[in-house]
Amino acid sequence: MGRWQELVDDTLRNLESLEHSNCYRIDDAIWEAEKVAEMEEPVPPGENPTERVHEFKQNLRQVVFDRWMRDRSQIWFTSLRLLDHPESRDPEHRS
């Protein structure tokens, strides 16, 4: 996971704290993390913000999926649904 490990870990902690929250709060937590990823330094040079967010979301999705396979809680299911189906997200949060 490399460069996204810390941000993914922080996002997982945020999501866990929202265990009994609605979809909109979960979407907000993911969106906040995406904004952080967007502002990260480009690696490699020339990498654009969209590429960074995409790479971060791939890493986050894999870890959320692994959590869901171990613990079928609603938080992981909802997070996966939001990551896999951008059309279900708040229009401001779609990328």
Q: Where are the domains of the chain?
A: 2-93
**Residue range 76-86, pLDDT digits in tens:** 999 999 999 98
Instruction: Report CA-CA distances (Å) from 94 to 3, 54, 87.
Output: 23, 12, 7
Q: Which two tokens stand for residue 36?
A: 């952080």
User: What pLDDT was estimated at residue 39?
Assistant: 96
**Residue range 34-65, pLDDT digits in tens:** 999 999 999 888 999 999 999 999 999 999 99
Residue 95 has pLDDT above 70, yes or no: no
Q: Which two tokens stand for residue 29?
A: 């937590």
Alpha carbons 36 and 39: distance in angstroms, whole number: 5
Percentage of the chain beyond pLDDT 90 is 79
